[in-house]
Amino acid sequence: AIPPLTHYKIAKQALLHNKHVLVEKPLALDSRSAQELIDIAKEKGKVLMVGHTFEYNAAVRKIKEYLKSGEIGDIYYIYAQRLNLGRVRQDVNVMWNLAPHDISIVLYWLEEEPLQVSARGITRLQKGLEDVVFMNLDFSDDKSVHIHLSWLDPNKVRRITIVGSKKMIIYDDTSPDAKVQIFDKGITRQTLNNNLGKYDDFGKFQLIKRAGDILIPQINFVEPLSMECSHFIECIQDGKRPLSDGEDGLKVIKVLEAAQKSLKANGIPVEVKF
């Protein structure tokens, strides 16, 4: 739990001294350094784990159950907001500071990597360090993820919305008793007087708005950091592979690297190479 600029150096020293290592996010500030840590850990037979704490969050895990069950339907898009006023870093921009959380959550939910990333930022407080960033991640099947990050916002917001073909989910990490809300809402494409099921003109279908119940599932919430640390110990004792292992950390860094290139290129989409 040290400044991001020192993660690689200190983690490498610990691994070379035959220590298991749990590194806070991000694992490193470039993919080459992250890959080197993974290789050293493998060579030494040590556990390398990254502090993607939200992967150990009961609410985040509950949402993954709903996504895998198909209850939400096809995922249309996801948008995340991680905003606050203050806690301004002087070593990394707001994207490298906050985005690892939302990127790791999305990769955990979707179980796939984005094809390309675009990002645009606003710099107001410190030259060369963006205070506000808008990211777009494009996945297969036209799934889109939008992430808004800021440490220059009047409200503390930690919210992710998932819009599916059947239902919608809001995950609000700041809510004390309604962290997950499932909305039985959507738009249904209904065929009219057409036995063939083909839409050859606008008179053959209607877009029907559907609004049903709101479900707030009961979640047995355990402090995620405690779960994360327990998992780290368990992996050391039993030789298990961590959920948020070095490879998981490397994927997040590759997304951030592509986003950083896009930032410098005024938002041009950049392919993410895994």
190-234 pLDDT, tens digit per residue, is 665 555 555 555 555 567 777 778 999 999 989 999 999 999 999
117-133 pLDDT, tens digit per residue, is 999 999 999 999 999 99
Q: Give the per-residue pLDDT at 187.
A: 78
Q: What is the mean pLDDT of residues 264-272?
A: 96
Torsion of CA 10, 15, 17, 20, to 10 degrees: 110
Q: Give the per-residue pLDDT at 212.
A: 76
Q: Give the per-residue pLDDT at 185.
A: 82
Q: Which of 150-159, 179-188, 229-238 has the lowest mean pLDDT?
A: 179-188
* DSSP letter (8 states) at residue 204: G
Residue 34 has pLDDT above 60, yes or no: yes
Sequence-distant (≥ 6) Cβ neighbours of residue 274 within 8 angstroms: 113, 251, 254
Measured between alpha carbons, how far is 251 from 119 in angstroms, rounded to an integer? 17
Which helix (H) or strand (E) is 158 found in, with range? Answer: strand 152-164
Sequence-distant (≥ 6) Cβ neighbours of residue 127 within 8 angstroms: none
What would the two tokens of residue 204 be? 């053959």
Which helix (H) or strand (E) is 83 found in, with range? Answer: strand 75-85
Segments of 179-230 assigned E as strands: 180-191, 205-215
Q: Categorize the per-residue pLDDT at 188 as very low, low, confident or very high, splitting at 50, 70 and 90.
A: confident
Measured between alpha carbons, how far is 156 from 261 in angstroms, rounded to an integer? 28
Measured between alpha carbons, how far is 188 from 206 in angstroms, rounded to an integer? 8
Whole-structure pTM value: 0.91
Q: What is the mean pLDDT of residues 144-167?
A: 96
The number of C-alpha atoms within 13 Å of 148 and in the hemisphere containing its C-beta is 14
Cα 263 from chain centre? 19
* DSSP letter (8 states) at residue 174: T
**Is residue 19 left, alpha or beta, with left meaning phi > 0 and alpha meaning psi from -120 to 50?**
beta
Residues 5 and 217 sit within 8 Å (Cβ to Cβ): no
Question: Shortest CA distance to 38 belongs to which of 187, 249, 215, 189?
Answer: 249
**Is residue 18 left, alpha or beta, with left meaning phi > 0 and alpha meaning psi from -120 to 50?**
left
Residue 12 has pLDDT above 90, yes or no: yes
Q: What is the mean pLDDT of residues 36-65?
A: 97
Mean model confidence pLDDT for the chain: 93
**Number of other residues whose CB lies within 10 A of the CB of residue 225:** 12
Dihedrals φ, ψ of 246, to 5°?
-60, -35
What would the two tokens of residue 217 be? 């599932």
Residue 142 has pLDDT above 70, yes or no: yes
Q: What is the mean pLDDT of residues 144-149?
A: 98
Q: Which of 72-81, 148-157, 189-198, 218-227 has the lowest mean pLDDT?
A: 189-198
